[in-house]
C-alpha cells in the first residue's frame, strides 16, 4: 500500500490549512512518520491518503498494519511469454518477489499455453501471475507489475486503445482479479534484459522443463 501524508494546521483568523506530501511512501514509512508527531499535537491532525483516494487515520493504519503482517507485502511481478508461430504453443513465465514479515521471497513458475498470438500469451502470463498473488494470500496492497510487451503494458495502463476482442477479454479478467484481491497495480514497461528471468522460464516450459519454486532470499539490514 502506498500513501501520502496530509497534515491539517488550524490557524486563528484563517481556519484550517492542509499540507500534503507529493511523493508516495509505504505503510511502514507512514507509521514511522506518525511516531514523530509531537505528542502535544493532536494526532488527528495527521491523516493519510491511499492510491484510491481513501483517507486513513493513524489508528486505522495501525490496525491495518497488524492485519497485513501475515500477508505478502512489497509485491513485484515480472511476466513474459514465448510464442511458437507454427504450432501456436506458448510458454508462460512468472516471477513474484515479495516480503512476508522481515523475510523476502522469490516465487518462480511457468506453464504451457495454447493461444493465437504472442500478445494473447503475454496477457495469459500476467493473468497467471495474478492467480499466483491470490495463492500467496496477497490483498489490500500495492503491486508493481513489470513486462516487456509495450502493447500489453500500454493497454493495461489505458494509454493505448484495445480493439481486439480477445485482448479485451483478458484485460477484463485481469482487472477483475486485481479488484477482487483489492490490489492496486502500477504498470512499468521494461526492456528484455530486465525481464530475462521471466523470459527464461517461458522458454524452459516450451522445452518441457516445468518449474514452480519459492526461494527465501537474503535480506541486508533490518527493519
Taking only the tens place, the pLDDT of each residue in 145-185 is: 999 999 999 999 999 999 999 999 999 999 999 999 999 99
User: Which candidate, 28, 62, 33, places its Cα nearest to that of 46?
Assistant: 33
Domain match, 46 and 77 both: no
| pLDDT confidence bin for 128, thresholds 50/70/90 | very high
Q: How far apart are CA 97 and CA 75, in angstroms?
A: 6
Angstrom distances, CA of residue 152 to CA of 29, 85, 91: 32, 19, 16
DSSP 20-31: E-SS-EEHHHHH
| pLDDT confidence bin for 195, thresholds 50/70/90 | very high
- pLDDT at res. 223: 41
Domain match, 8 and 114 both: no
The answer to whether residue 117 is domain-embedded is: yes
Q: Which residue has better confidence, 113 or 36?
A: 113
Mean pLDDT confidence for 52-59: 86
Domain match, 60 and 155 both: no
| Strands 73-83 and 55-56, sheet pairing | unpaired
- pLDDT at res. 222: 40
Domain match, 122 and 202 both: yes
Domain match, 18 and 105 both: no
The answer to whether residue 10 is domain-embedded is: yes
Domain match, 150 and 164 both: yes
- pLDDT at res. 41: 59
Report the share of the chain in percent with pLDDT over 90. Answer: 58
Mean pLDDT confidence for 41-52: 76
Domain span at 181: 73-217
CATH number at residue 178: 3.30.420.10
Q: How far apart are CA 9 and CA 41, in angstroms?
A: 10
Q: 150, exposed or middle or buried, with CB in 10 Å at 0-12, 13-18, 19+? A: exposed
Taking only the tens place, the pLDDT of each residue in 178-191 is: 999 999 999 999 99
- pLDDT at res. 197: 98
Domain match, 103 and 180 both: yes
The answer to whether residue 110 is domain-embedded is: yes
Domain match, 21 and 79 both: no
Beta strands in the chain (DSSP E): 2-11, 15-20, 25-26, 46-50, 55-56, 73-83, 89-100, 103-114, 142-147, 184-189, 212-217
Asked if residue 204 lies in contact with residue 109, where contact means CB atoms within 8 angstroms, the answer is: no
Q: How far apart are CA 148 and CA 19, in angstroms?
A: 38
Angstrom distances, CA of residue 158 to CA of 53, 75, 128, 150: 19, 22, 21, 12
What phi and psi values does residue 199 have, to the nearest 5 degrees?
Answer: -60, -45
- pLDDT at res. 214: 97
Query: Which residues are CB-contacts of 172 (< 8 A; sequence separation ≥ 6)?
Result: none
Taking only the tens place, the pLDDT of each residue in 97-106 is: 999 988 999 9
How many domains, the chain?
A: 2
- pLDDT at res. 44: 59
The mean pLDDT value of the chain amounts to: 89
Domain match, 26 and 82 both: no
Amino acid at each position: 500500500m502506498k500513501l501520502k501524508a496530509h497534515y491539517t494546521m488550524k490557524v486563528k483568523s484563517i481556519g484550517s490549512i492542509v499540507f500534503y506530501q507529493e511523493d508516495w511512501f509505504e505503510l511502514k514509512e507512514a507509521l514511522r512518520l506518525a511516531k514523530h508527531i509531537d505528542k502535544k499535537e493532536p494526532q488527528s491532525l495527521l491523516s493519510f491518503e491511499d492510491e484510491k483516494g481513501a483517507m486513513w487515520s493513524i489508528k486505522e493504519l495501525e490496525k491495518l498494519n497488524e492485519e497485513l503482517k501475515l500477508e505478502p507485502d512489497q509485491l513485484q511481478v515480472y511476466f513474459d511469454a514465448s510464442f511458437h508461430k507454427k504450432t501456436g504453443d506458448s510458454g508462460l513465465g512468472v516471477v513474484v518477489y515479495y516480503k512476508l514479515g522481515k523475510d523476502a521471497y522469490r516465487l518462480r513458475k511457468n506453464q504451457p499455453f495454447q493461444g493465437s498470438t504472442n500478445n494473447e500469451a503475454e496477457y495469459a502470463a500476467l493473468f497467471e501471475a495474478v492467480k499466483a498473488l491470490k495463492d500467496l494470500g496477497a490483498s489490500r496492497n500495492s503491486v508493481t507489475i513489470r513486462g516487456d510487451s509495450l502493447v500489453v503494458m500500454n493497454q493495461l495502463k489505458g494509454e493505448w486503445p484495445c480493439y481486439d476482442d480477445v485482448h479485451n477479454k483478458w484485460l477484463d479478467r485481469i482487472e477483475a482479479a486485481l479488484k477482487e484481491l483489492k490490489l492496486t497495480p502500477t504498470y512499468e514497461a521494461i526492456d528484455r534484459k530486465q525481464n530475462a528471468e521471466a523470459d527464461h522460464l517461458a522458454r524452459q516450459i516450451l522445452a518441457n522443463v516445468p518449474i514452480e519454486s519459492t526461494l527465501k532470499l537474503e535480506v541486508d539490514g533490518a527493519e
